[in-house]
């Protein structure tokens, strides 16, 4: 069970400077446990006084009162110390939770962007939030309580043997028997069950979110049965494991509770046996009374410890889940302070495969995109165009070869320098839930209002701004303010215009635009592209006809390179693509004519 220890000591690393406070909390909890046990002893002595009266003596109310006060006082002191103990442990717990979250978030910032494609941000947030919260309750409550319970057990065992070992020993045997049963039936599988159980719970939550998110697609395509199936499967899987987990605990729990709560079954015959041979019947009755008062309390404490191991598993699990995030290889960022000497982009024998994929998405690709020129990348879907584009700003890192900007490997550029060098316009850009103004400003945080309005103007956003209630200060996504795909694209272009990076990567930037928007996006892009090094992926080949260089990709390999005229003359792969493209236009026009 080495693993078990690792999880918790790993968790404790995150307590930071508050670690000693946790120790103090545990010591205090142990002390409070002794005080909280005191009333049992007081009740015992009080009962003794009462028994005394049965023996014909007068009731000593003074003493009775004393024991009562003593019980009250020790309970009060015990609780007060316990309160301080919990105060300390809560301080530690909140800081640990904060430290865990900070560690996970600062780690995520260092991950390559491509990582977030596999791990959606919503899922990551849930993992971090839920699991760090899970550790909070363990540190705040279970860790001090465990010491309290342990002290209780030790004191209880000592008292039980001390009062009358002939009654104490059989009871202790019983208690350990109960524990033995418990350990035999639980423990081994519980940890693995707990893990699968948590996995299934996470899956179920994820599928529920996906189901709700995809509800529009579900409705439009009448996919309810298929889509619900996945959600349902996740629920079924969860149910199966929740059930299996519960069942795995059943025997142990039942065995333990039966044995421990059956202590009276032993106590009574043992008492009869011991009582029959006892010389001092009065002393025996008094001792017997002690066990009657004390045994249920011991059983309660043992139960408490038993449930604590459950919490411990959970805290370990939570830590491991956060560790999965922390152990992901971060992207190495160097900062030599080097600056590119020009704005050329050069691929040198670049190969790359996505994680888990058998085939290379891009293999042995070399080309140079000269400063201030346009390089177009064409090829069928899946040929590796977007992969090439996403390697430039290091969304992923190349497996082999290198990419240089102005003579410097992108891996040797500081993050800031790289970001300043390259702008990226995607197929479907996203806007923050902020004003359009702030969305554009994200391109250059130091920009003035004039600069932002100018960028919006150049990106053909004037008509969008004019129709919104608060103009450029309207918040997107609020009060029913939604923009069409083409409109969002123009805002994204404004952002890139403001940023004014010398290298521009465009990945099918006009793919989702409707005819109206397409014209405006075209103008906006023209303004954006002025004087830049451009790497452009376009499905409309007419837009890249004038590119200085066209690169043709086929199954991850660069198969042809040249300008439009050369490549058409060559009658190779580009020529085929060009012919296909023209045919599709003819077909579209033909269709429109037929519809008229
Ligand atoms: P294109 O942009 O030319 O359509 P891509 O560069 O997107 O092509 O894809 C190249 C290859 O890599 C394809 O086989 C595709 O299935 C695969 N691929 C693309 N993105 C991912 C990803 N995030 N994870 C795994 N494989 C991917
Ligand atoms: Mg693509």
Locate the ligand 1 atom nearest the alpha carbon of residue 117 and give its number. Answer: 23
488 has a pLDDT exceeding 50? yes
> Same structural domain for residues 140 and 206?
yes
pTM for this prediction: 0.68
42 has a pLDDT exceeding 70? yes
| Angle of helix 19-54 versus helix 143-163 axis, rounded to 10 | 30
Provide the domain limits for residue 394.
345-595
The residue among 326, 357, 378 that closes a domain is 326
What would the pLDDT profile of 420-446 be if each residue is shown by its tens digit? 899 988 877 888 888 999 999 988 989
> Same structural domain for residues 426 and 560?
yes
User: How many angstroms does the Cα of residue 222 sit away from the middle of ligand 2?
Assistant: 28
334 assigned to some structural domain: no
User: How many angstroms does the Cα of residue 380 sit away from the middle of ligand 2?
Assistant: 9
Which of 138-147, 249-258, 584-593 is modeled with the greatest confidence? 138-147
> Same structural domain for residues 307 and 395?
no
Nearest CA to 124 among 138, 141, 109, 142?
109
> Same structural domain for residues 356 and 289?
no
Average pLDDT rounded to a whole number, residues 545-572: 94
429 assigned to some structural domain: yes
Average pLDDT rounded to a whole number, residues 166-195: 73
Two structure tokens written together for 10:
């790993």
Locate the ligand 1 atom nearest the alpha carbon of residue 508 and give its number. Answer: 2
> Which ligand is in closest contact with the Cα of 379?
1
* 584 band by pLDDT with thresholds 50, 70 and 90: confident
Best mutation site among 357, 398, 558, 559 for ligand 1 pocket (most ligand atoms within 8 Å of CB): 357
565 has a pLDDT exceeding 80? yes
The residue among 294, 326, 358 that closes a domain is 326
> Same structural domain for residues 166 and 230?
yes
Q: Give the pLDDT score at 2.
A: 38
Check the CA dihedral 115-121-122-128 and report its sign. Answer: positive
* 592 band by pLDDT with thresholds 50, 70 and 90: low
- Distances from the Cα of 15 to the Cαs of 99, 317, 326, in angstroms? 7, 17, 16
Two structure tokens written together for 190:
């519980």
> Same structural domain for residues 247 and 350?
no
2 assigned to some structural domain: no
Two structure tokens written together for 462:
């004037």
494 assigned to some structural domain: yes
Two structure tokens written together for 502:
């010398």
Q: Which of 53-57, 370-374, 491-495, 574-578 has the lowest mean pLDDT?
A: 53-57
- Distances from the Cα of 502 to the Cαs of 236, 340, 404, 419, 557, in angstroms? 53, 11, 14, 11, 27
Q: Give the pLDDT score at 113.
A: 77
> Which ligand is in closest contact with the Cα of 388?
1
86 has a pLDDT exceeding 90? yes
What would the pLDDT profile of 183-203 be if each residue is shown by its tens digit? 777 666 666 776 777 778 878
162 has a pLDDT exceeding 80? yes
User: How many angstroms does the Cα of residue 403 sit away from the middle of ligand 2?
Assistant: 19
User: How many angstroms does the Cα of residue 386 sit away from the middle of ligand 2?
Assistant: 4
Locate the ligand 1 atom nearest the alpha carbon of residue 507 and give its number. Answer: 2
Which residue, by CA, sits nearest to atom 16 of ligand 1?
Answer: 382
Q: Give the pLDDT score at 3.
A: 43
Distance, CA of 166 to CA of 462 (rounded, Å): 94
Please give the angle made by the CA atoms of 272, 274 and 278, to the nearest 5 degrees: 115
304 has a pLDDT exceeding 80? no
* 332 band by pLDDT with thresholds 50, 70 and 90: confident
Q: Which of 7-21, 29-43, 50-64 has the lowest mean pLDDT?
A: 50-64
Which residue, by CA, sits nearest to atom 14 of ligand 1?
Answer: 382
Instruction: Count CB-CB contacts under 10 A for residue 521.
Output: 25
Give the total number of structural domains in the chain.
2
> Same structural domain for residues 242 and 365?
no
Distance, CA of 303 to CA of 312 (rounded, Å): 15
Which residue, by CA, sits nearest to atom 13 of ligand 1?
Answer: 382
332 assigned to some structural domain: no
- Distances from the Cα of 108 to the Cαs of 92, 116, 236, 258, 485, in angstroms? 24, 9, 32, 49, 29
Q: 494 and 444 in contact (C-beta within 8 Å)? A: no
Q: Give the pLDDT score at 196.
A: 78
293 assigned to some structural domain: yes
% of the chain at pLDDT higher than 70: 92
Best mutation site among 387, 505, 508 for ligand 1 pocket (most ligand atoms within 8 Å of CB): 387
User: How many angstroms does the Cα of residue 119 sit away from the middle of ligand 2?
Assistant: 20
User: CATH number, domain at 457?
Assistant: 3.40.50.300
225 has a pLDDT exceeding 70? no
140 assigned to some structural domain: yes
What would the pLDDT profile of 370-404 be if each residue is shown by its tens digit? 999 999 999 999 999 999 999 999 989 999 999 99
Compute the chain's Rg from CA coordinates.
36
321 has a pLDDT exceeding 70? yes
User: How many angstroms does the Cα of residue 550 sit away from the middle of ligand 1?
Assistant: 20
User: How many angstroms does the Cα of residue 246 sit away from the middle of ligand 1?
Assistant: 43
595 has a pLDDT exceeding 60? no
> Which ligand is in closest contact with the Cα of 384?
1
335 assigned to some structural domain: no
What would the pLDDT profile of 503-530 be if each residue is shown by its tens digit? 999 998 777 677 777 888 888 888 888 8
Which residue, by CA, sits nearest to atom 10 of ligand 1?
Answer: 384
Q: 425 and 506 in contact (C-beta within 8 Å)? A: yes
* 289 band by pLDDT with thresholds 50, 70 and 90: confident
Best mutation site among 117, 355, 384 for ligand 1 pocket (most ligand atoms within 8 Å of CB): 384
What would the pLDDT profile of 452-478 be if each residue is shown by its tens digit? 999 999 999 999 999 888 899 998 877
User: CATH number, domain at 144?
Assistant: 1.20.1560.10
The more confidently predicted of residues 50 and 70 is: 70
Binding pocket residue ranges, ligand 1, CB within 6 Å: 117, 354, 357, 361, 379, 381-387
> Same structural domain for residues 321 and 463?
no
Q: Give the pLDDT score at 186.
A: 66
% of the chain at pLDDT higher than 90: 37
Which residue, by CA, sits nearest to atom 7 of ligand 1?
Answer: 386
Run of H or E residues at 352: strand 345-352
> Same structural domain for residues 309 and 362?
no
The residue among 326, 356, 387 that closes a domain is 326
Mean of the per-residue pLDDT values for the chain?
85
User: How many angstroms does the Cα of residue 382 sit away from the middle of ligand 2?
Assistant: 7
Name the pairing type of β-strands 345-352 and 362-369: antiparallel
> Same structural domain for residues 91 and 240?
yes
480 has a pLDDT exceeding 70? no
> Same structural domain for residues 203 and 161?
yes
> Same structural domain for residues 356 and 291?
no
């Amino acid at each position: 069970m080495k693993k078990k220890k690792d999880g918790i000591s790993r968790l404790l690393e995150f307590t930071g400077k508050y670690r000693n406070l946790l120790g103090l909390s545990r010591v205090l909890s142990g002390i409070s446990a002794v005080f909280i046990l005191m009333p049992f002893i007081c009740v015992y002595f009080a009962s003794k006084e009462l028994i005394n009266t049965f023996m014909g003596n007068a009731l000593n109310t003074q003493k009775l009162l004393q024991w009562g006060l003593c019980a009250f006082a020790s309970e009060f002191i015990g609780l007060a110390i316990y309160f301080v103990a919990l105060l300390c442990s809560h301080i530690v717990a909140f800081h640990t939770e904060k430290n865990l979250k900070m560690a996970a978030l600062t780690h995520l910032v260092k991950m390559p962007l491509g990582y977030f494609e596999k791990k959606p941000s919503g899922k990551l947030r849930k993992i971090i939030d839920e699991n760090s919260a899970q550790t909070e309750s363990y540190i705040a409550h279970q860790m001090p309580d465990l010491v309290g319970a342990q002290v209780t057990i030790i004191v209880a065992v000592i008292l039980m043997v001390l009062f009358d070992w002939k009654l104490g020993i059989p009871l202790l045997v019983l208690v350990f028997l109960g524990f033995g049963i418990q350990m035999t039936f639980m423990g081994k599988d519980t940890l693995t069950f707990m893990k699968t159980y948590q996995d299934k719970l996470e899956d179920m939550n994820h599928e529920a979110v996906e189901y709700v998110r995809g509800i529009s697609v579900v409705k439009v395509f009448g996919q309810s049965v298929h889509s619900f199936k996945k959600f349902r499967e996740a629920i079924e899987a969860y149910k199966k494991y929740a059930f299996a987990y519960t069942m795995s605990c059943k025997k142990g729990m039942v065995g333990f509770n039966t044995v421990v709560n059956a202590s009276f079954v032993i106590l009574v015959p043992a008492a009869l046996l011991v009582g029959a041979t006892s010389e001092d019947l009065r002393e025996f009755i008094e001792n017997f009374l002690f066990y009657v008062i004390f045994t249920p309390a011991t059983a309660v404490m043992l139960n408490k410890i038993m449930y604590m191991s459950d919490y411990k598993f959970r805290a370990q699990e939570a830590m491991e889940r956060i560790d999965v995030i922390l152990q992901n290889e971060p992207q190495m960022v160097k900062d030599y302070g080097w600056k590119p000497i020009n704005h050329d982009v050069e691929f040198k024998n670049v190969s790359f495969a996505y994680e888990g994929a058998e085939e290379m998405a891009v293999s042995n690709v070399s080309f140079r995109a000269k400063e201030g020129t346009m390089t177009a990348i064409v090829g069928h879907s899946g040929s590796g165009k977007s992969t090439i584009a996403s390697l430039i700003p290091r969304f992923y890192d190349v497996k082999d070869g290198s990419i240089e900007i102005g003579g410097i490997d992108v891996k040797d550029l500081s993050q800031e320098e790289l970001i300043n060098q390259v702008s990226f316009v995607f197929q479907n850009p996203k806007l923050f839930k902020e004003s359009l103004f702030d969305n554009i400003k994200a391109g250059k945080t130091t920009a003035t209002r004039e600069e932002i309005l100018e960028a919006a103007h150049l990106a053909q956003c004037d008509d969008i701004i004019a129709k919104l209630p608060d103009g450029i200060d309207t918040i997107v996504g609020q009060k029913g303010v939604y923009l069409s795909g083409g409109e969002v694209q123009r805002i994204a272009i404004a952002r890139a215009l403001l940023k004014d990076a010398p290298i521009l990567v465009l990945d099918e930037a006009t793919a989702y635009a409707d005819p109206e928007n397409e014209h405006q996006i075209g103008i906006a892009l023209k303004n954006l592209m002025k004087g830049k090094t451009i790497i452009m992926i376009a499905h409309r080949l007419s837009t890249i006809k004038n590119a200085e260089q066209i690169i043709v990709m086929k199954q991850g390999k660069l198969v042809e390179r040249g300008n439009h005229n050369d490549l058409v003359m060559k009658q190779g792969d580009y020529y085929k693509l060009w012919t296909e493209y023209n045919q599709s236009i003819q077909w579209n026009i033909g269709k429109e004519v037929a519809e008229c």
